[in-house]
A and B are shown apart, each in its own frame.
Chain A
Amino acid sequence: MGGRDATLVLLDENGIRCDGRKVDEPRRIMIKAGGLKNADGSAYIEFGDNKILVGVFGPRDVHPKHMSNTDTGILRVRYHMEPFSVTERKNPAPSRREIEISKVIKEALEPAVMLEKFPRTAVDVYIEVLQADGGTRCAALSAASVALADAGIPMRDMVAACAAGKAADTIILDVNNEEDQAGQADMPIGYMPSLEKITLLQLDGVLTPAEYKKCVETGIHGCKIVYELQKKALTDKYFGNGEK
């Protein structure tokens, strides 16, 4: 992982990507709901080589008090990367990038979470990236959504996230670290599958309008794959050994 490789072939003549995937194939995804005893809700996701743990608390009292809102609850998200999550030690202090991702994930979750039911309270989401390999914000968002559901916080819909992008002039699903570094575009998408609404859309790179359209469609297709796994994770935890 990391470092640019001059000989790296992003897409070979058979349409196989640098890690052996097809153009429209996501990485291996595993989601587990629960796992942390002290948090109100939690989830763990493995998204390719990404490993992310999410804990959710709340609704609970807001401290400091002045942050509370009498009309609605507030959502607070902290995205944090462990020092050992990347090849070279990362300073554990929040970086500019982590602050941005925290904000972006918070805003992607807000349309789904029904905070207005709990005025004067806060819901805290803590995201710890144990191992990063490109596309952590999408993986983190998907896991955060599972953890919120696990905590029993009312939600209009789950939020599933997946990235799409462009590498070697081809639209690809689920951009990995190499493709992100050497590719032409990266577009993370957060999507509410039942309501059919997009809650997160960023784009780093240049796309033509036609490519853009295809990229969004590809990304949403990826979100739907992630959604099925989120659903499975929650069903396994809550209805696993039960009969209908």
Chain B
Amino acid sequence: MENKRKYVIPGDVITTGPYRPEQNVILDGNKIISTAIGISEIYDDSIKVIPLTGKYIPKIDDLVIGKIISHTSLSWELDINSCYVGFLPAQDVFGRDFSAHADELASKLKSGDLVAARIANFDRTRDPLVTIADRDLGKIDSGHLVKISPSKVPRLIGKRGTMIQTIEMATGAAITIGQNGWVVVSCETPEGLLKAVKAIQMVDEKAHVANLTDQVKEMLESKGES
């Protein structure tokens, strides 16, 4: 797999042949053309480009970290670091028997609160519908918010979660990664927190470098000794 990776920019012809175009590629005749700056990956029958830049585009079932920007009597609006605002209906929090005049939305979630939410529905004709009615979702009470580029989230997670496990193990921090590039770090010790934040920022800066997991590990360990 590794030797089939290539750096591409928009307009680059990745290859020709009977491949299925996936993320960030288009088919023109029999040429497969990249539409983003990134790293192309060729699988057995499909091709995709992992982008290195760009805004977050909501996808159904993504976990995102959102910030409440406002509410009406029926719903909240969430800043999810995208070109669309997240729409969180009040029923989601109050349950089926929600009534607009009996329940006050501000009593549950106020402007500026951070929530972990899941994209429940999004079809581009309407703003993305988010939900917080699930395990591990809902208001985030404590932690440190780190903002990274959304295109680098897969790098932060690493292959089968190796990168994030490395950071969590070395610092003892609990890290929640939103696919939209917002990351919440909470840790019992301030040193662990600072180290975890530094590691996350390092991944953001050096996302294209090979063997980054080892470099991060090295950084985490060297800091621990000093």
- The chain A residues found within 8 Å of chain B, CB to CB, are 40-41, 58-61, 70, 112, 114, 117-121, 149-158, 192-195, 231, 234-235, 238-239, 241-244
Check if A58 sits within 8 Å of B52, measured CB to CB: no
Which residue of A61, A192, A243 is within 8 Å of B83 (Cβ)? Answer: A61
Check if A154 sits within 8 Å of B24, measured CB to CB: yes
Name the A residues within 8 Å of B24 (CB-CB): 154
Check if A238 sits within 8 Å of B11, measured CB to CB: no
Which residue of B13, B31, B35, B209 is within 8 Å of A114 (Cβ)? Answer: B35
Taking the closest CB of chain B, its distance from the CB of A161, in whole angstroms, is 14
Count B-side interface residues using an 8 Å CB cutoff: 29
- Interface SS majority for chain A: loop
Excluding A114-B35, A152-B36, A238-B208, 17 further A-B contacts by CB distance (< 8 Å) are A59-B83, A117-B57, A121-B84, A149-B10, A150-B37, A152-B37, A154-B54, A156-B26, A158-B10, A192-B11, A193-B11, A194-B11, A194-B13, A194-B31, A195-B33, A234-B37, A238-B37
Q: Report how far A231 CA is from B35 CA in the complex, Å.
A: 13
- Across the two chains, which residue of chain B brings its CB closest to A40? B55
Which residue of B5, B9, B124, B210 is within 8 Å of A158 (Cβ)? Answer: B9
Taking the closest CB of chain B, its distance from the CB of A240, in whole angstroms, is 9
Name the A residues within 8 Å of B11 (CB-CB): 155-158, 192-195
- Across the two chains, which residue of chain A brings its CB closest to B85? A61
B7 is an interface residue with CB less than 8 A from chain A: yes
Name the A residues within 8 Å of B124 (CB-CB): 118-119
Name the B residues within 8 Å of A58 (CB-CB): 55, 83
- Across the two chains, which residue of chain B brings its CB closest to A232? B9
Known contacts: A153-B54, A155-B11, A194-B13. The answer to whether A118 contacts B83 by CB under 8 A is yes
